[in-house]
């Protein structure tokens, strides 16, 4: 992507003067972490000329590191840096900027760890802001639209989805004064919302809107400049194509979806952005996905309570159960059960998503063993129902859907 050493230092020095943090996509997660630490040190110096700007950039860098790695500690450091920035505000606009950054941290906390309360806290941060600059007002509107989209997707109410879509449209219309990274996030969120609603309602207009947004992102996000944005757009397009292929039972569309996932995976390496890599892998998971790759994704997403980690763990366990059942290996299923039981008894009940993933895994184990031995397990339906309810309460519909998909076999 670029030469290390001197060229890297020049890149950082130049980028520090810009509000556009798109350059971060060119560096790996470890370098983002190092830069966040350096920025925090500079901000804390007595001689710092612009402590507010330094702390705000520090918060943004820690937030990006958390987004890529799922590190709860990095997310907490982002919040702490935003709090430090709040102590150095000198205008209503700076106060508003801190509130917007705080809300963005809450939004990311929801994306990473679930918990609808995080969305409520984020909305609370940006309500009744006093913004003097148009750019700050646009940033607040953009974040409000993204938060509303997430709440609407959780509610699954048609009117809420339409209202959220209108907010995203308005925010994008007013995105000229926003950094390109913020505009890209808006477009990705609108594409995800349009795609989900379009597939559910068989709405061609919304599907076309999603296609336009994703095409624009892929065309403007060059692989040598914005690889992560490009990969996220390709993966979302692949997910949409896969969903449509399943509805239409179209093998050609399914192949096109797989090609999009492969293209997304080729944009970067796992160490560059572990969560993005795991998310692409998970979105494109099929029956032939090597267990080794699922295990690698699980190793990259081990942060307790991480939603993506729970999804990867459940998918890896599901693949292991399916393999053991295909081989007729009851002993292997028993060994897997022992591992899951140890986790269920030892897991921190403060991490409900981890618990729900293990509940789904245990239910799958019971069902597979029942099919092999003929011994029914009547608790399976209850286990899956509890996992589903827990996932819903945490605002994790993807995990709830995994429990739902397992329900038909519960009759065994």
pLDDT for 153 beyond 80: yes
Q: What pLDDT, on a 0 to 100 scale, did the predictor assign at position 16?
A: 55
Residue 23: closest CA among 13, 11, 34: 11
* Stretch 281-293: mean pLDDT: 78
Other Cβ atoms within 10 Å of 4 Cβ, number: 11
* Stretch 64-83: mean pLDDT: 97
Q: What pLDDT, on a 0 to 100 scale, did the predictor assign at position 4?
A: 42
Residue 145: closest CA among 174, 102, 116, 118: 174
* Stretch 71-83: mean pLDDT: 98
Tokens of 78: 């982002």
Calculate helix-pair angle for 158-173, 180-201, nearest 10 degrees. 150
Instruction: Give residue-wise pLDDT tens across range 361-402.
Output: 999 999 999 999 988 777 898 999 999 999 999 999 999 999
* Stretch 101-106: mean pLDDT: 95
Question: Could you tell me what percent of the chain has a pLDDT over 70?
Answer: 92
pLDDT for 245 beyond 90: no
Q: What pLDDT, on a 0 to 100 scale, did the predictor assign at position 290?
A: 82
pLDDT for 11 beyond 60: no
Q: What pLDDT, on a 0 to 100 scale, did the predictor assign at position 410?
A: 41
Q: What is the DSSP string of 279-347?
A: HHHHHT--TT--HHHHHHHHHHT-STT-HHHHHHHHHHHHHHHHHHHHTT-HHHHHHHHHHHHHHHHHS
Contact 210, 240 (CB under 8 A): yes
Residue 406: closest CA among 340, 322, 338, 343: 322
Residue 104: closest CA among 158, 62, 157: 62
Q: In angstroms, rounded to a whole number, what is the distance separating the alpha carbons of residues 69 and 79?
A: 16
pLDDT for 10 beyond 70: no
pLDDT for 2 beyond 70: no
Q: In angstroms, rounded to a whole number, what is the distance separating the alpha carbons of residues 408 and 377?
A: 14
Higher pLDDT, 132 or 267: 267
Q: Where are the domains of the chain?
A: 285-412
pLDDT for 286 beyond 70: no
Query: What is the chain's length?
Result: 412
pLDDT for 87 beyond 80: yes
Q: Report which listed range, 76-80, 96-100, 183-187, 403-407, is most confident.
A: 76-80
The chain-wide mean pLDDT, for the chain, equals 88
Higher pLDDT, 123 or 31: 31
pLDDT for 180 beyond 90: no
Q: How many CA atoms, within 13 angstroms, populate the side-chain half-sphere of residue 405? A: 12
């Amino acid at each position: 992507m670029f030469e290390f050493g001197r060229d890297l230092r020049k890149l950082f020095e130049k980028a520090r003067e810009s509000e556009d943090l798109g350059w971060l996509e060119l560096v790996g997660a470890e370098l983002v972490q190092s830069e966040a630490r350096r920025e925090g040190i500079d901000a804390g110096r007595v001689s710092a000329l612009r402590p507010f700007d330094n702390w705000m950039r520090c918060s943004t860098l820690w937030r990006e590191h958390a987004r890529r790695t799922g590190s709860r500690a990095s997310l907490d450091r982002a919040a702490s840096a935003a709090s430090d920035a709040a102590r150095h505000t000198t205008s209503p606009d700076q106060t508003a900027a801190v509130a917007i950054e705080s809300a963005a941290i809450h939004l990311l906390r929801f994306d990473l760890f679930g918990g609808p309360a995080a969305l409520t806290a984020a909305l609370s941060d940006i309500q009744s802001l006093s913004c003097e600059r148009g750019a700050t007002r646009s940033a607040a509107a953009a974040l409000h639209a993204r938060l509303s989209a997430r709440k609407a997707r959780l509610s699954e109410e048609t009117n809420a989805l339409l209202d959220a879509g209108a907010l995203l449209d308005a925010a994008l219309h007013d995105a000229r004064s926003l950094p390109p990274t913020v505009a890209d996030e808006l477009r990705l969120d609108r594409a995800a919302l349009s795609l989900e609603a379009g597939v559910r309602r068989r709405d061609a207009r919304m599907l076309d809107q999603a296609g336009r947004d994703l095409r624009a992102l892929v065309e403007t996000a060059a692989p040598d400049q914005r690889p992560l944005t490009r990969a996220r757009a390709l993966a979302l397009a692949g997910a949409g194509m896969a969903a449509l292929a399943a509805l239409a039972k179209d093998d050609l569309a399914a192949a096109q979806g797989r090609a999009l996932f492969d293209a997304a995976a080729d944009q970067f390496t796992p160490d560059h952005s572990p969560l993005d890599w795991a998310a692409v892998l998970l979105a494109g998971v099929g029956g032939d996905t090597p267990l080794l790759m699922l295990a690698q994704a699980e190793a990259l997403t081990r942060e307790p309570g991480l939603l993506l980690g729970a999804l990867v763990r459940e998918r890896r366990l599901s693949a292991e159960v399916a393999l053991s059942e295909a081989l007729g290996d009851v002993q292997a299923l028993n060994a897997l059960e022992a591992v899951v039981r140890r986790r269920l008894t030892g897991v921190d009940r403060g991490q409900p998503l981890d618990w729900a993933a293990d509940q789904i895994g245990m239910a799958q184990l019971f069902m597979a063993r029942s099919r092999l031995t003929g011994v029914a397990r009547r608790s399976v339906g209850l286990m899956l129902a509890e996992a589903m309810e827990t996932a819903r309460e945490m605002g994790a519909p993807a995990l709830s859907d995994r429990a739902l998909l397992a329900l038909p076999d519960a009759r065994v």
